[in-house]
Amino acid sequence: MLGVTDLGTYVLGTVAIILLPGPNSMYVLSTAASNGVRRGYQAACGVFLGDTILMIASAAGVASLLRAFPPVFLALKYAGAAYLAYLGLKMLFARPAAAPAEEAEPAVDRPFRRAFTISLMNPKAILFFISFFIQFVDPAYAHPAVTFTVLGAIVQLFSFLYLTALIFTGDRLAAVFRRRRRLARAGASAIGVLFLGFSLRLATASL
């Protein structure tokens, strides 16, 4: 169908991959838990845009360029790892007190920007997209761009459903956190530690 081979296997694989914990999903969850549903969806939109750009880049052959020029891959990899470490430390040592009213408005677009950066600054994702997608593309199909669009749309659909579940889970947690400051602090610290782990994993990953 539209150049996609073995659609059922692709869907099952996509669901399994999306359900694996990663910096994108954890950031969306923590944003919703800290700032509510609206900010959670802002972060999710950043993830959608970043992943879309990575999928387009993968389809355009950027993954092959990264393989051909390892120093470029390493620069992107370490920049992404450093950014994840920065966010992790910020979450780990942040105070749980609410932001002042005058700071609330300028912070509205930060979840989008941060989630977009987290998604985009991950060269391993480019390599993953191209290695995963290519297995389900019919080389005889005359319009490969259509095939990549269908595959990408499936990924984004399941990503949307999963992130939506995380957002409303985070919003429920927010009500608990408002009553229990120590629990809120422990949750933020746990997410911070996870981000430091993501940073270390990315920094030590091989091409």
Q: What are phi and psi of 121, to 5 degrees?
A: -85, 50
Residue 110 and residue 94: Cα distance in Å, rounded? 16
Per-residue pLDDT of the chain (207 residues; tens, 9 = 90+): 777 777 888 888 888 878 877 888 888 988 888 888 999 999 999 999 998 888 887 777 766 666 677 777 677 778 777 877 877 787 777 655 444 333 343 444 489 999 999 888 776 666 677 667 667 777 677 777 788 888 888 989 999 999 999 999 888 877 665 656 666 666 667 767 877 887 787 677 665
Among 70, 26, 46, CA closest to 121: 46
Residue ranges covered by each domain of the chain: 22-204
Q: Is the pTM of this model over 0.85?
A: no
- Which pLDDT belongs to residue 99? 40
Are 137 and 5 in contact by the 8 Å Cβ rule? The answer is yes
Using a 10 angstrom Cβ sphere, with 0-12 exposed, 13-18 middle and 19 or more buried, the burial of residue 105 is exposed
Tell me the three state secondary structure of residue 101. helix
Are 42 and 167 in contact by the 8 Å Cβ rule? The answer is no
Half-sphere CA count of 198, side-chain side, radius 13 A: 29
- Which pLDDT belongs to residue 56? 83
Among 201, 202, 195, CA closest to 89: 195
